[in-house]
Amino acid sequence: MSGDGAGAWRRVGGEGLRFLRGRARTLRILALWSLLESAHTFLGGYAVARALDDGFLAARPAVGVAWLAVAGAGALLGGLALRGVFGGLADLVEPLRDGLVRRAVRQALERAVADPGRAARDGGVSRLAQQTEMARDSFAGLVLVARSFVFTAAGALAGMAALAPVLLLFVLPPLLLGTAGFLLTLRPVARVQRRALDNDEALAARTGELAAGLRDVVACGGGERAGAGLRLLITEQERLTRLLARWAALRTLALGVAGRLPVVVLLLGAPWLLGRGVSAGALAAALTYLVQSLLPALDSLMGALGSAGTRLVVVLDRFCAPRPDRRPASGPEGPAHHPAPAPAPAPAVALGVGPAAAPACPGPSFRRSGVARAARGGPGAAGPGPVCGSGQRGVAAELRGVRFAYGARAEPVIDGLDLVLREGEHLAVVGPSGIGKSTLTALLAGLLPPGRGAVLLAGAPAWTGPVRSPDPRRTLLPQHAYVFTGSVRENLTHLCHGPVPPARLDRAVAALGADGLVGRLGGPDAPVDPATLSQGERQLLALVAAHLSPAPLLLLDEATCHLDPAAEERAERALAARPGTLVVVAHRISSAARADRILVLDGNRAVCGTHEDLPARSALYRELLGVWNAQV
């Protein structure tokens, strides 16, 4: 909905009329079934009047019972009508949902083409999944109660007119007054609900952005600043909720006027009516019409219009013709202001080998190098060694003055980092939790764009845009290993281009120490149920898959944390002996000690060296080493 609710009502009303005109046959069927409901309502009051006037009050109980039986037959008609109404309702509601799903997909594709980065944060998933179902349910409820009110009111008013037309003079004025007052609240409430929905989406997006980089926000001490915008959104949501509550109070007053005042007026006017020839049966029938039929139907209609109706207008307006994006109701602190690049969710064993990948397993042979290269992370860091040009032979990956922050105003997680990784090198990355180790692997994997500087893989940029195809240059294993339902062989070879010879598969399984696990599962062709595997077993299968991957750069982000130290050592040695470059985010100092070089991340400092020389150069590494030795 745009800034004014009237525009949304016009847009939604126009498209709604076109939708209904295309389903005239379904509407006619609904109307025919609903006529039976009018007959049921008419008979419910008229039979009561006749049973009293012509039966019980006239000392003819048999006639009274007969008229009550007619009222019971009318109830059967009502049940039959309801059964037919639900059948016709499905023919009206399901096409609406299908059309909204198609429109949501089309809008998401259009936004992705126009602005891929914003499309990911533009509520497309919510529109496709949640809002289509919300529209479907709201539309079904609204059609059901609106149809019921129209035909129930027709039957009740026709019954009163047939018994004594003067009854309408007591019933209609308060009924119309309360209904008009209620209808006047619809547009203001729709505007408030629209702002509340905007703010709710902004709150969800902001929360998602913060959650994606929560560890780095905490590590950098940026919690207060990062939470400021979130608090504004929460405050705005509280204000809008209070405003909706005030409108709900006014609606309750209007409902009281429309739903209760007619009964009071009729009871106060009963002496006058009885004195003017209106029979007791007609007066009892009028009360029956009001209490049992008309007022419950009106209550349901107002409740549906007040909640489902305005919500339906708000949601359907999201699916109308594309309009320029608006700022959320909360103002500049919403996610439209300085959007933070959140890490894209990645499969656990990554990102590896598609049809364009080359070479196939087992991949090219690289010579192992122990070349040390310093890395720096900001003012006061240890000075770097000679810079290796990205085009020089033997460079697997390179970071040049890389800076990255989760948001334009957030403190950088990585700032001014230079690093060269040689082909065949084994690098371990250590540091406290939340310091940026996972961020570094995400940058090397091309999952995050550097805010400043360059990240190169084999001389080419690692970041290729928000829409990525499988990249044969690297494989990333995060902490939570990716295992899928399929055979053991499929889980072990899904990163390879083409079939893997059985002998090579067996060698990889043995090298990683996974032969016992594969045997327990039933062999390479046995099915895998991920739910039955422990975290360590999942990691072991993922490590074998990484060993078989032809990617020249392998990134392990605490991918061995669920293995015991002996199994971890065996896995890391096997992966280090594999052709290519290995980067390990280490959670044990013993893991770091096996590496050619160790990169210590320490806030605005980054120090790179060997296990032997780092204790003299890095206070943090001395501390980590001391804690580890004390535990051992």
CA 160/CA 192 separation, integer angstroms? 39
Please give the radius of gyration of the chain, using alpha carbons only, rounded to the nearest integer.
36
What was the pLDDT predicted at 468? Answer: 61
> What was the pLDDT predicted at 371?
29
CATH number of 395-631: 3.40.50.300
Q: CA–CA separation, 56 vs 66, rounded Å?
A: 11
Query: Sign of the C-alpha dihedral, residues 607, 608, 611, 613?
Result: negative
CB-based burial of residue 3 (10 Å sphere; 0-12 exposed, 13-18 middle, 19+ buried)? exposed
The answer to whether residue 249 scores a pLDDT higher than 70 is: yes
> Distance between CA 559 and CA 98 in Å, rounded?
42
pLDDT digits (tens, 9 = 90+) for 168-214: 999 889 888 888 888 888 778 777 877 887 788 788 777 877 776 66
Query: Is the peptide bond preceding residue 530 cis, with omega within 30 degrees of 0?
Result: no
This prediction's pTM: 0.44
Tens-place pLDDT, residues 52-85 = 988 888 889 899 899 988 888 877 777 777 777 7
Asked if 606 and 417 count as a contact pair (C-beta separation under 8 A), the reply is yes
Task: Report residue 199 as tokens.
Answer: 């703010």
Residue 614: in which H helix or E strand, if any? helix 614-617
- The CB density around residue 159, as the number of other CB atoms within 10 Å, is 27
- Say if residue 574's pLDDT is above 60: yes
Give span(s): CATH 3.40.50.300, the chain.
Answer: 395-631
What tokens does 409 get? 């105003």
CATH 1.20.1560.10 domain locations along the chain: 5-318
User: d(Cα 617, Cα 607) in Å, to the nearest integer?
Assistant: 8
- What pLDDT, on a 0 to 100 scale, did the predictor assign at position 293? 84
Angle, CA of 538, 542 and 547, to the nearest 5°: 150
Instruction: Give the tens place of pLDDT for each residue, 21-34.
Output: 777 777 787 788 87
Between CA 310 and CA 190 the distance in angstroms is 5
pLDDT digits (tens, 9 = 90+) for 515-551: 999 999 999 999 999 889 999 999 999 999 999 999 9
Domain 5-318 belongs in CATH node 1.20.1560.10: yes
Q: Give residue 473's identity as a one-letter amino acid code.
A: R
**Cα 166 to Cα 185: distance, rounded to the nearest angstrom:** 31
